[in-house]
Amino acid sequence: MFIVNSYALAVIFCFITMICWGSWGNTQKLAGKTWRYELFYWDYTIGILLFSILLVFTMGSFGSEGRSFIEDISQVEWKNILSAIVGGIIFNASNILLSASTSIAGLSVAFPLGVGLALVLGVFINYFSAPKGDPVLLFVGVALIVIAIICNGIASGKNKKDSAADKANNRKGIILAAVAGVLMSFFYRFVAAAMDLDNFENPTPGMATPYTAFFLLAVGVFLSNFIFNTIVMRKPFVGEPVSYKEYFAGKFSTHLTGILGGCIWGLGTALSYIAAGKAGAAISYALGQGAPMIAALWGVFIWKEFAGCTKSTKQLLAVMFVFFIAGLSLIVVSGGN
């Protein structure tokens, strides 16, 4: 299997993770022009599962280092299999709320708040579970990102809405993003716990390689979607209930858009776990969770979600980007110490 052997390459992988995690929401925006997010989300989870299968039989099986996927999964202990699957279930519960928030409040609100909150809480959870890197630089970087999240929240509150209903939906979107962020902060650790982060080449017997762990995560996401998404389809946060009949009546191109979104997220997540062996779980997770900055860039400059906002709101958004970049820079440096 392919293994990262340098910190520099691990950081590059983490930045690709950040771009992927911050960009998959664009596929939801595209599909959302004719497609409810609940229906999009089915294709999204299918995309994650399909990508995981492709990955384990390519990068996870080729090469002379480590165990191949079949060899690895056949020896993984049940407690580690369940840990990775539970990570997928937790992620799915959080991400479906994030998708709901995105459909209601937009990318530039849902991602900085939801994923940003997940970053802050998740760094603490992952660092104290598997310490790696300079804690002072790491947590100062996290503090700067907290400031960026606050700036985004204030900017969102100042963003002009046309009606009382719009304002109510925006508040609902913010609440959903916050709940999603708290849940999302826990999923990474469950998957990381199934892996031997100190030795990907010769993992401890009974533990999984990052490729197997990612596949099990994808299985957890897909299977739990039959529960979570069915509930949301019948009891949507906004709008009328949707049915499976509507899903199967969707256009092929629309389905492909959702599958592409899942593949984009899957690529980012897989690279994050592959990089964790060299960078550490906390740093790998933190860099990937710089995704809110990427999503905010898409939301502000491509989808024009803050079009017509005041000068002070634009200044808050500028401050948010500056603090996000500064925080991420410190996180990168912390791993080299």
Q: What is the pLDDT of residue 231?
A: 97
Note whether residue 1 is domain-resident.
Answer: no
Token pair 């407690």 is at which residue?
A: 79
Residue 196 pLDDT level (bands cut at 50, 70, 90):
confident
The whole-number average pLDDT for the span 270-284 is: 84
Residue 196 falls inside a structural domain? yes
pLDDT digits (tens, 9 = 90+) for 10-25: 989 988 998 998 899 8
Q: What pLDDT is stored for residue 130 in this prediction? A: 72
Place of tokens 């502000």: 300
Considering only CA atoms, which of 138, 147, 183 is closest in space to residue 282?
A: 138
3-state secondary structure of 76: coil
Full residue range of the structural domain in which residue 251 is found: 7-334
Average pLDDT, the chain: 88
**Average pLDDT estimate for 28-36:** 90
**Does 77 map to a domain?**
yes
Q: How far apart are CA 131 and CA 124, in angstroms?
A: 10
Position 171 pLDDT exceeds 70: yes
Query: In the structure encoding, which two tokens stand for residue 193, read together?
Result: 């716990």
The residue type of 259 is: I
Nearest C-alpha neighbor of 188 from the set 239, 232, 129: 129
Count of structural domains, the chain:
1
269 within 8 A of 55, measured Cβ to Cβ:
no
How large is the average pLDDT for residues 40-46? 97
pLDDT for residue 159: 66
Provide the sign of the torsion angle of the four alpha carbons 158, 166, 170, 254, taken in this order: negative
| Angle at 90 (CA atoms; ends 75, 263), nearest 5 degrees | 75
Six-digit token string for 323? 């603090």
| Side chain identity at residue 53, one-letter code | I
Phi-psi region of 93 (alpha: psi -120 to 50; beta: other; left: phi over 0): alpha
pLDDT at 84: 97
Q: Is residue 34 part of a domain?
A: yes
Please check whether residue 2 lies inside any domain of the structure: no
